Structure 1
Amino acid sequence: MASIHIFRHGETIWNTEHRAQGSKDSPLTDNGKAQAIHARFHIAQIPFDAAYSSNSGRAMDTLDILLNGMPAQKFTLSELGEMDMGCWEGMTFDEIACQYGEQYKQFRLNPEDYKSVGGESFEDLKLRVNRVIRHLLDKHSGQQVLVVTHGMFLRTLQVIAKKAEISELWNLSPINNLSYFVLSEHNGSFQLEKR
């Protein structure tokens, strides 16, 4: 059985500006780099067989800091990327609320009904998350794997693991920068433990 150690990336400039990042990128802040340095002490003794990140700079940079020279083979997978937020990307959440009020209300209050302008719905994201996690579990059976991904990806993974509805997405454990989870599979179901 594979154990997948999953982190959210470190704090970015756009995180501090309360901007929607999605598939766009923003560099790690000094604090974000320090968060990753601190987090690597939790995994320093784990002999990882492979390490993955999304193809965004913030995730790749976080992965490099976490690995700190560990010999694990590194890969990037676009499927580990953040939810594509379409035309919202780069906007502050205040700007989004002003310009896309009804959509933003759905995003926050009724995520199961949210329809993105040019991006992904939560249902789209749920299918992608399920597909890539199943791929990693199958590919790395019996191995230890490190993954760096994104906040909405991890929220959606919680929905899948808890067999919850998308409507419950915002009621699950908060996802902060460098939030850390361990995922495994038991009897065909994902088991997700927050560390």
Structure 2
Amino acid sequence: MTRLYVIRHAEAEGNLYRRVHGWYDSLITERGYRQIAALAGRFEGEHIDAVYSSDLFRTRTTAGAIYRTHGLELTVRRSLREISFGAWEDRPWGELGHDHADALKLFDTGSSAFRAPGGETFPEAGARVTAAVRQIAKNHPGQTVAVFSHGTVIRQLQGAVQGLAQEELHVLGHADNTAVTCIEAGGDTLRMIFHNDNSHLPEEISTLAHQTWWKAQNGAVKDPSLRFRPLDMEREARIYHDARREAWINIHGTLEQFDGEGFVRDALAQWRYDRRAVTAAFLGEELAGLIQMDLRRDAEKGVGYIPFFYMMPGRRKQGLGVQLLGEAVSVYRPLGRKYLRLRCAPDNYVAQRFYRRYGFCKAAEAEGTRVPLDIMEKYIGYD
């Protein structure tokens, strides 16, 4: 008998930013790297003969928990990828819920009829991964193999092994990041020993422990997800101005040295260069925040510069701000930018704590500014 440990990748940007990442090549989060360390500890004394992974960064990186620690080579298989979402790739779940509610409901309920434009159906993706796992088992008779793949297709594989119809897969539950499924293979027979085991994860580093969508009935997504659209700086500049004003007072306690017209003038120039430069975030129809991006500043240094990052007062401390960072990554990474950079007052302890939580570090101190500011930087390239 061949023993297969089928393992979901560690927490990645799509899990954190609430964006659709199937074939999109996202990075591992800070929590995800802690999950990888825990997974390595789980398998430290386990004999493994071979390690396979999909070709995406998040699975290849997670696979290091076993192949690096066991002195093995990593074999990459494109066939182990997540379901393809086609035109939906890297779009916010909040946007799809707003603009494509009926199609998203098909996805949430695991319907065989679901297919994103240009993407795969559940049965197509499941057949692809199940065939890949069967071939891996045949390649390693009597051995123990670790296979790193993705949540949706692992669930399809589990259903195939159990002989479940598509409409019955909800009984399998959802896999946490780095959760382990164990399958035994003999001849053409696959048998599931256990599935979705995350016992190596303390609650503080479990992804599912920090989310609620998976608890919802019929797959309905309950975690708040934002959608984004460019702010029209010729018609909606007052929204931007008032946000700048409120942020200044909140940070400095006074309007002294506040140059509202100057801020609007700079933002308008950036917006005229690229409409995404001032982007509004919405929770349903409610304005939840703004993010400003200067797409020309420090471009030659591989930097994606963020002049202004803002959450509406009623939406602060609700875990939504990280989705604005996800929007910045979505804009800047395709342009070849390796870093996000912004400025933050050293005495703005709430903002400092937020940025550091999501991977920003102090790179320098700004010069020639009205008030003291730290230059904060986050790497968004691939290692």
TM-score between the two structures when normalised by the length of structure 1:
0.93
Cα deviation 1:129-182 (Å, max 9, x = unaligned): 221011011111111111111001111111111111111223312111011111
Q: Which amino acid aligns with 1:41?
A: G
Partner SS state of residue 112, structure 1: coil
In structure 2, the partner of 1:97 is 97
1:139 is the counterpart of 2:139: yes
Equivalent-residue separation in structure 2 for 1:139 and 1:68 (angstroms): 21
Tell me which residue corresponds to 1:4. Answer: 4
Q: How many Å separate the matches in 1 of 2:187 and 2:162?
A: 14
Aligned-residue identity in percent: 25
Taking the TM superposition and a 5 Å limit, the aligned residue runs for 1:54-65 are 54-65=54-65
Higher mean displacement: 109-118 or 135-144: 109-118
Instruction: Give distance in 2, aligned partners of 1:8 and 1:181.
Output: 9
2:82 alignment partner, SS class? coil
C-alpha change, 1:186 and 1:135, in structure 2 (3 Å) is closer
Amino acid of the structure 1 residue aligned with 2:9: H
What does residue 28 of structure 1 align with? 28
* Residues 80-95 of structure 1 aligned to structure 2 (within 5 Å): 80-95=80-95
The TM-score, its normalising length taken from structure 2, stands at: 0.49
* Other structure's SS at 1:134 match: helix
Structure showing greater relative contact order (alpha-carbon pairs closer than 8 Å, 6 or more residues apart) = 1
Q: Equivalents in 1 of 2:110, 2:62: separation in Å?
A: 31
Letter in 2 for 1:75: T
Q: How has the CA–CA distance of structure 1 residues 110 and 153 changed in structure 2, closer, same or farther, with 3 Å as cutoff?
A: closer
> RMSD across aligned C-alpha pairs, in angstroms?
1.5
Question: 1:173 and 1:106 mapped to 2: Cα distance?
Answer: 17
Match of 1:43 in 2: 43
Structure 1 partner of 2:128: 128
Where 1:103 maps in the other structure, the secondary structure is helix
SS at match of 1:69: coil
Residues 18-67 of structure 1 deviation map (CA, whole Å, 9 limit, x = unaligned): 11100011110111011011012221112221111100001101111333
Write the mapping of 1:148-159 to structure 2, written as runs, cut at 5 A. 148-159=148-159
Distance in 1 of aligned mates of 2:151 and 2:115? 19
Q: What amino acid maps onto 2:30 in structure 1?
A: D
Of stretches 182-191 and 31-40 in structure 1, the one that deviates more from structure 2 is 182-191
Out of 115-124 and 67-76, give the one that drifted further: 67-76
Matches within 5 A, 1:11-22: 11-22=11-22
Q: Give the length in aligned residue pairs.
A: 195
2:165 is equivalent to residue 165 of structure 1:
yes
Q: Give the conservation status (yes or no) of the 8 Å contact 1:108–1:170.
A: no
SS at match of 2:5: strand
More off after superposition, 123-132 vs 103-112: 103-112
- What's the CA shift for 1:17? 1.3
Gaps spanning 5+ residues in structure 2: where?
198-383
Larger Rg: 2
**Counterparts of 2:187 and 2:152 in 1: how far apart (Å)?**
26
